């Protein structure tokens, strides 16, 4: 298998979330000797929110979740790794329905309370018999940890990814835990990859949905590995309401600010962890765009830079080739004026007012580029729009992984 | 230097074009031992048309050509290789003006009759003294061949690229010759790379412009190597009018059809030659999209597939991973219905009506993918829109070339 990403982070200590129980099992979706089915059970009263891929070819799991999200209640989550079940027609839909029915029939909840996500190869129907046997096994299995769950949802990921934040809401300390998987086919439009957030905060489903969409806009939707958008991208947030706070039901409640900030922090950590596990990544790249016509314009310019193969290979080669950044701004299709453009690498301004900074010191730039954490700043010079985008470099590792990967 | 592309074509025998004389010289824009300045002189009466990059950060050469194209007359073309002179502010503009002035002063034409194009690293002002000395040298040099000119405009290209077509116009046989350079930073929006077309046909400048724009739309604008759009993309067409035909001045003249067809054929051959020299390319890929809502929609879907790193690496790995084609259709942002989508590799239908073709024969697909020429067909199932897009695969060679390349 692929080597551990050099940008990998250790898995954090994650406390339990009241009202959430985890399990893992081996359904055998691929010929591998590892657990590949993750299960989370939620106490009654748990509400759910979610954002899903903008792909016009979504998986049946995505369609199932969209329909169930309308009702806003959750009792279970099933995540299958090794097979995305996408583009499998009626057989794929039948597999999702069978999973929801099996969980509902065994645990006594409604099928619409069961959320399903799958990740892996596209085009192969998820085998219903293995899924059902896996669910039977996981319901009989001992409790699993966050680390177990984060490892079990992985596919080409090289390390499990999780994060925790807290907020004081209504005098109560609430906990937010997130786990995420993703490494390639990462270019979120609305959401990306599979990400799951769990909190004991009491909050209404519509407010959780609004806050998740807001957090997504500046976190998951601001990362890219390869510009490719998955058919299965899903981020779901589950709130069990057991923290004891008076339920949050309005964006204007003072306590909402604390929860929102904690949710955005959590999503940012998870999104950055995905970039740190980008296929073949050797450097973590932060692209800060300022001075654009709007925040949305700044984000699109940032993603144009972050998705440019020539920018990404220059970073891999530790080459301060800022001309490629100019190129990527020029092709973004957003308002820009060549002669107002400024670019910095790390703390060094390398270009300003449409040309190179006369005699800028290349030494700190070269030193910055040899590091693992690269920062590129671009000022468009036209307005107040700003956005930060995260990506990784493009290396031989990406080619090696993707010229061979298939089940 | 980089090895010859395995997709390279031999340079064709190209006849002279009456009214065009070529020259090459070594200006020394880089520390290399080769000619890097190409010159073409045109007889009086030559008209010109052109299409240039859609980049919002165009080079001063592009701005110069745009202004000169309005007048529609040409007496000289100067092409500098090894330095694009892009993003160099007032110094870059001064270099272009100096080149035009030197040619005009020496040959007696107007500066606005001199067209200039440069290609190479971004951000380094073109040295005026070397350009002027190079022009003096080339004006004193013996005549050069088409092969000389095609080789002298190259940068990371691994082989010189040229093509010829003919048309019978008004009973006269007219000749169209094209040369082109380009290998990376190839994702034309309107035009791409540097391409030059020379013909002896008598034709008005506005008609030549309209026909070049039309030819560009289905040729240069339908290729991509890496999705990156150059700051210097320029295609210019020069018509000396010495073939003896009655001047073409209307799109509706019967003779216009023959010239238009020959121009489109020429541009297609040149565009495909650029893909065959795509950085790191090992396979030439034709993507034919049918059944889209419009031709423009089909082209955007085709480019979404052609620019997907996951599709390109699958082809490099000779992997019939059509799920990645589904993904690329889904992210294109164009009308598509998952359950109407059909996909073929070579002549084998692999997916139809939103799922895999039951038990399709993998042997001919695998055999097709081991070849040098790959064909992917995608039917959207919604309308009559069609487009064909050409690209290459994404290999370790691309990374090797671009993680190191800089002057």
Tokens of A8: 């990998």
User: Which residues of chain A make contact with B317, given a CB cutoff of 8 A?
Assistant: 402-404
Q: Which helix (H) or strand (E) holds A140?
A: helix A128-140
Do residues A212 and A206 make contact, with C-beta atoms less than 8 angstroms apart? Answer: no
Query: Which residue of A88, A228, A317 is in closest CB contact with B310?
Result: A228
pLDDT exceeds cutoff 70 at B299: yes
Task: Decide the pairing of beta strands B76-83 and B385-392.
Answer: unpaired
CA atoms of A61 and A233, how far apart (whole Å): 10
pLDDT tens by residue, B2-43: 678 888 888 999 999 999 999 999 999 998 999 999 999 999
CA distance, residue B157 to nearest chain A CA (Å)? 16
Set A46, A192, A231, A395: catalytic member: A192
DSSP conformation letters of B266-334: HHHHHHHHHHHT-TT---EEEEEEEEESSHHHHHHHHHHHHH-HHHHHHHHTT---HHHHHHHHHTS-S
Closest CA to A152 of A268, A6, A11, A316: A11
Percent of chain A predicted with pLDDT > 90: 42
The pLDDT value recorded for residue A277 is 83
CA A393 to chain centre: 18
User: B400 and chain A: CB distance < 8 Å anywhere?
Assistant: yes
B window 288-317, beta carbon within 8 A of A: 307-310, 313-314, 316-317
DSSP state, A150?
A: H
Cα–Cα distance for residue pair A332/B113, rounded to 1 Å: 32
pLDDT of A342-378, one tens digit each? 999 999 999 988 888 888 888 999 999 999 999 999 9
Q: A338 to chain B: which residues are within 8 Å by CB?
A: 56-58, 87
The 3-state DSSP composition of chain B as helix, strand, coil percent (nearest 5) reads 35, 25, 40
- Contacting residues of A for B232, CB less than 8 Å apart: none
pLDDT at B230: 67
Question: What does the pLDDT look like over A202-261, one tens digit per residue?
Answer: 888 888 888 888 877 777 777 777 767 667 677 778 888 888 888 888 888 778 888 888
Residue A186 is predicted with a pLDDT of 61
Q: Please report the pLDDT score of residue B337 as a whole number.
A: 84
- Compute the half-sphere exposure of residue B155: CA atoms within 13 Å on the CB side of its CA: 27
CB neighbour list of residue B39: distance below 8 Å, 6 or more residues apart: B22, B23, B24, B25, B76, B77, B78, B79, B135, B138, B139
C-alpha atoms less than 13 angstroms from C-alpha of B378 in its C-beta half-sphere: 34
Q: Is the pLDDT of residue A106 over 50?
A: yes
Whether the per-residue pLDDT at B327 is higher than 90: the answer is no
B89 and A327: CB-CB below 8 Å?
no
Cβ distance B406 to A319 less than 8 Å, yes or no, reads yes
The nearest CA of chain A is from the CA of B164 a distance in Å of: 31
Q: Do residues B153 and B181 make contact, with C-beta atoms less than 8 angstroms apart?
A: yes
Q: Which of A397-406, B195-204, B278-287, B302-311 has the weakest average pLDDT?
A: A397-406
Asked if the Cβ–Cβ distance from A230 to B327 is below 8 Å, we say yes
Reference B124, options B29, B207, B33, B41; nearest CA is B29
Residue B349 has what pLDDT? 93
Mean pLDDT taken over chain A: 87
**pLDDT at residue A407 greater than cutoff 50:** no
> How many other C-beta atoms lie within 10 A of the C-beta of residue A147?
16
A391 is known as an active-site residue: no
d(CA A29, CA A236): 23
CA nearest to B122, candidates B97, B89, B75, B88: B88
Neighbours of A106 (CB within 10 A): 14
Please determine, for residue A47, whether its predicted confidence score (pLDDT) is greater than 80.
yes
Nearest CA in chain A to B60: A338
Selected residues 179-208 of chain A with any CB under 8 Å from a CB in chain B = 184-185, 187, 189
Query: For position B184, what pLDDT does the model report?
Result: 66
Q: Which residues of A159-181 are buried (b: 16+ CB within 10 A; e: fewer)?
A: bbbbbbbebebbeeebbbbbbbb
Q: Is B228 on the interface with A (CB under 8 A)?
A: yes
pLDDT-based confidence at residue B187 (cuts at 50, 70, 90): low
- Residue ranges covered by each domain of chain B: 20-276, 284-402
Q: What is the mean pLDDT of residues B384-405?
A: 85
Q: Poorest-confidence range of A140-144, B148-152, B221-225?
A: B221-225
- Chain A residues 136-175 with a CB less than 8 Å from chain B: none
Residues B21 and B42: their CA atoms lie apart, in Å, by 7
Integer Cα distance of A188 and B96 in angstroms: 42
| Number of separate helices (H) and strands (E) present in chain A | 11, 16
Question: What's the pLDDT band for A146 if we cut at 50, 70, 90?
Answer: very high
Q: List B residues 8-47 in contact with A (Cβ-Cβ < 8 A).
A: none
Dist. CA A141–CA A40, nearest whole Å: 12
- Local structure of residue B203 (DSSP, 8 states): B
pLDDT in tens, B10-19: 899 999 999 9
| Distant-in-sequence, close-in-space partners of A212: CB < 8 Å, separation ≥ 6 | A49, A50, A51, A197, A235, A237, A263, A267
Confidence class of residue A336 from pLDDT cuts 50, 70 and 90?
A: confident
How large is the average pLDDT for residues B164-190? Answer: 78
Q: Among A86, A56, A295, which Cα is nearest to A194's?
A: A86
Which of the four CATH numbers 1.10.357.10, 3.30.1310.10, 3.10.20.30, 3.10.20.340 does domain A284-402 have? 3.10.20.340
Q: Which pLDDT band holds residue B185 (cuts at 50, 70, 90)?
A: low
Q: What topology is assigned to B20-276 in CATH?
A: 3.60.70
Compute the nearest-CA separation of B220 from chain A (Å).
16
Lowest mean pLDDT among B67-81, B154-168, B208-222: B208-222
Helices (H), B331-392: 362-369
The predicted pLDDT at position B22 comes to 96
Tokens 């992984």 belong to: A401
Closest Cβ–Cβ partner in B89, B313, B326 for A353: B89
Let me know if A389 is exposed, middle or buried by CB neighbors in 10 A (0-12, 13-18, 19+): buried
- Do B314 and B300 touch, CB atoms closer than 8 A? no
- SS3 at position B134: helix
The tokens for A243 are 């923290």
Q: How confident is the model at residue A184 (pLDDT cuts 50, 70, 90)?
A: low
Has residue A145 got a pLDDT over 50? Answer: yes
Spatial contact of A251 and A210, defined as CB atoms under 8 Å apart: yes
Q: Which residue in this structure is represented by tokens 């589950």?
A: A238
C-beta separation of A227 from A307 below 8 A: yes
Q: Give the range among A62-76, A78-92, B142-156, B175-189 with minimum mean pLDDT.
A: B175-189
- Torsion of Cα atoms, A224 then A227 then A231 then A233, to 10°: 10
Instruction: Identify the top-confidence range among A88-97, A234-243, B195-204.
Output: A88-97
Q: Rg of chain B's alpha carbons, rounded to an integer?
A: 22
Q: Which residue of A has its CA nearest to B91?
A: A355
A13: buried, middle or exposed (CB in 10 Å: 19+, 13-18, 0-12)?
exposed
Distance CA A42, CA A112 (A): 13
Spatial separation of the C-alpha atoms in residues B160 and B14, rounded to whole Å: 13
By CB atoms closer than 10 A (0-12, 13-18, 19+), residue A37 is buried
**Is the per-residue pLDDT at B407 higher than 50?**
no
Residues B131 and B106: their CA atoms lie apart, in Å, by 14
Contact residues, chain B, for A400 at CB < 8 Å: 396
Give the integer Cα–Cα distance in Å for A172 and B250: 79
Among A271-275, A280-284, A346-350, whose mean pLDDT is lowest?
A271-275
């Amino acid at each position: 298998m692929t080597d551990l990403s050099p940008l990998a982070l250790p898995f954090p200590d994650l406390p339990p979330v009241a009202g959430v129980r985890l399990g893992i099992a081996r359904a055998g979706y691929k010929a591998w000797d590892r657990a590949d089915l993750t299960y989370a059970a939620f106490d009654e009263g748990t509400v759910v929110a979610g954002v899903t891929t903008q792909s016009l070819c979504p998986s049946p799991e995505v369609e199932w979740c969209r329909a169930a999200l309308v009702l806003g209640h959750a009792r279970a989550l099933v995540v299958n790794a090794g097979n995305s079940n996408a583009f499998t027609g009626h057989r794929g839909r039948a597999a999702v329905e069978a999973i929801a029915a099996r969980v509902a029939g065994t645990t006594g909840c409604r099928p619409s309370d069961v959320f399903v996500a799958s990740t892996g190869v596209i085009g192969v129907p998820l085998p219903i018999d293995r899924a059902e046997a896996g669910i039977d096994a996981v319901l009989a299995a001992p409790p699993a940890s966050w680390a177990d769950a984060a490892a079990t949802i992985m596919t080409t990921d090289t390390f499990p990814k999780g994060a925790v934040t807290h907020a004081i809401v209504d005098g109560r300390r609430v906990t937010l835990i997130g786990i995420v998987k993703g490494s390639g086919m990462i270019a979120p439009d609305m959401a990306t990859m599979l990400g799951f957030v769990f909190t004991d905060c009491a909050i209404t489903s519509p407010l959780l949905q609004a806050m998740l969409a807001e957090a997504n806009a500046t976190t998951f939707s601001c990362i890219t590995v390869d510009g490719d958008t998955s058919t299965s991208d899903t981020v779901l947030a589950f709130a069990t309401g057991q923290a004891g706070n008076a339920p949050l039901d309005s964006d204007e409640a003072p306590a909402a600010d604390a929860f929102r900030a904690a949710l955005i922090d959590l999503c940012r950590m998870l999104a950055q962890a995905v970039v740190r596990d980008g296929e073949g990544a050797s450097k973590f790249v932060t692209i800060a765009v300022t001075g654009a016509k709007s925040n949305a314009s700044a984000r699109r310019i940032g993603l144009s830079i972050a998705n440019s193969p020539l920018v990404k290979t220059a970073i891999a080669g530790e080459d301060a080739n800022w001309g490629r950044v100019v190129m990527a701004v020029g092709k973004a299709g957003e308002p820009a004026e060549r002669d107002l453009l400024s670019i910095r690498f790390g703390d060094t301004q390398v270009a300003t007012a449409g040309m190179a900074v006369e005699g800028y010191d290349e030494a700190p730039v070269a030193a910055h580029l040899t590091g693992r954490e690269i920062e590129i700043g671009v000022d468009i010079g036209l307005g107040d729009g700003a956005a930060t985008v995260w990506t990784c470099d493009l290396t031989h590792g990406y080619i090696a992984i993707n010229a061979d990967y298939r089940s």
